[in-house]
Structure 1
C-alpha cells in the first residue's frame, strides 16, 4: 500500500510539474499566474488526500478554496470569499453529522490493517450525553464525544488499545494509572475538535498521525524512555482539529 501511494504521489508531482511548465509557456487558452498554479496543485493534493482518507472538511474546504481561486473564470465573483467559506463550513458540519458513523468505522478498520499484532476487539459505542467524567478499567477503551467535553481516566492493569472518536467536541484522556505489557495502540479520529492525551513519561510514543486540513499537534513535557519502556503507537486522523500529548 505504501509503495502504491508513493508511485501515485510521484506521478502526481510529475504531472503537476508538467502543468506548471505548460501554463508558464502560455500553451493553454486561459492564462494563470505561477502562484495560482502552485496553489492549485497544493489544493488538489489536499483534495485527493482528503477523499482517500474520508476527511469531509478537507474535501469541502479544498473545493471551496479552489472555487475562490478560480472565481473569475467560474463567474462567481459576487459570492467569494466569505459566502463560499461560510457555505463550506455549514456543508462540512452537515456532512460530518450524516457520514460520521460510517467514516469512523472505516478509519478504525484501516488503522487495524496497518498495525501489526492487532487484537481485533469489538467496537462499542459508549457515548452518554449525561456523563462527562468516567473512569474506565478495561484493556480496550472506547471514547466517543459529540458536541461536548469529556474526561476519561483509564486505570487498566493490562492496557492494550484505545479508540478515541471526537466530532465537534473535546476529550481529555488520562493514562497515568495504567500498565502496558510490551505494546499498546491508541487510535484517534478527530473532526472539528480537540483531544488531550496524558501519558506516562516512560512510554515510548510512536506517532503515526495524519494531520491534515489545517490541523495541529503539540507535545508538552519531556519523555523519559528506557530499554524497558513499552511501545505505544498512536494512529489516526485529524481534520480541522488539534491533538496534544502531555507527558506526566
Structure 2
C-alpha cells in the first residue's frame, strides 16, 4: 500500500509540475494565479484519493474548495464561500448516512482476513448492536468481548474495553467523536484496531507497554498525534492500527 501511494504521489506531482509550467506559459484559456494552481493540484489529489478510498467528506469538500477557487469561470460568484461550504457539509452528512452500508463493504483496508472472523465475529457484533440500539441515549458503555464495534453518528461515545483476550476493534465515526479505553485489556499475541473516521475524531487510550504499529493510509486533511511515552519490549504484544481518516483527527494516548 505504501509503495502504491508513493507511485501515485510521484506521478501526480510530475503532472502537477507540467500543469504549473504550462499555466505560466499561458497555454490555458483560463488565467489563474500561481497559488490557485498549487491549491488546485493539492485539491485534485485529495479528490482522487477520496474517490479511491470512498471517503465522502474528502471528495465533497475538495469539490467545494475547487468551486470557490474557480467561482469566476464557473459563473457562481453570487454564491459566497460560506454558502458553498455549508452546502458541502450538509451533502457530506447526507451522503455518508445514505451510503454507509455500501461504504462499509468497500473500504480497501477492510478486505483482509483480519476484518472478518466469520460466525464468531458476527455473533459478537450482533450482541453489540443489540445493546447499542436498545437504548440510544446511552453513550458510555463497558464492552467485555474479544471483538468489538464502536459506531458513532453525529454524537459522542465512550467505550471501556475489558477483555482477557482482545483480538479486534472496529471504530466507525462519522460527524462525531469516540474515546476508547483499552487499559483493562490483555492481548496474548497480537490484535487489530480498524478505524474509519469522517469529519470527526477518535482517541485511543492504550497501555504504554503495547507495541503499536500504525498502518494508516494517507489521510485527507487529517492528523494523527501520539501522547505519552512507550515502554515496549521484545515481548510486548503487537497491536496494529489501520484504516482511513477524512477531515478528521486521531490521538493515541499511552497510559
TM-score higher than 0.5? yes
| Aligned position for 2:216 | 209
Matched, 1:238 2:245: yes
CA distance in 1, matches of 2:64, 2:51: 14
CA distance in 2, matches of 1:30, 1:95: 32
CA distance in 2, matches of 1:241, 1:218: 12
Greater alpha carbon shift after TM alignment, 21-30 vs 213-222: 213-222
Q: Is the 8 A contact 1:170 1:193 kept in 2?
A: yes
Matched, 1:111 2:107: no
CA distance in 1, matches of 2:109, 2:252: 23
Superposition RMSD on alpha carbons, in Å?
A: 2.0
Structure 1 spans left out of the alignment, 5+ residues: none
CA distance in 2, matches of 1:210, 1:184: 18
Report deviation, 1:159.
Answer: 0.9
CA distance in 2, matches of 1:51, 1:203: 34
| Aligned position for 2:227 | 220
Q: Is the 8 A contact 2:2 2:217 kept in 1?
A: no
Report deviation, 1:48.
Answer: 0.3
Q: Is the 8 A contact 2:5 2:218 kept in 1?
A: no
Mapping of 1:148-167 within 5 angstroms? 148-167=155-174
SS in 1 for 2:83: helix
Provide TM-score, normalisation by structure 2.
Answer: 0.88
Report deviation, 1:211.
Answer: 6.0
Alignment size in residue pairs: 244
Structure 1's consecutive aligned runs of 4 or more residues displaced over 4 angstroms after TM superposition are 1-5
Provide TM-score, normalisation by structure 1.
Answer: 0.90
Matching residue within 95, 113, 120 for 2:116: 120
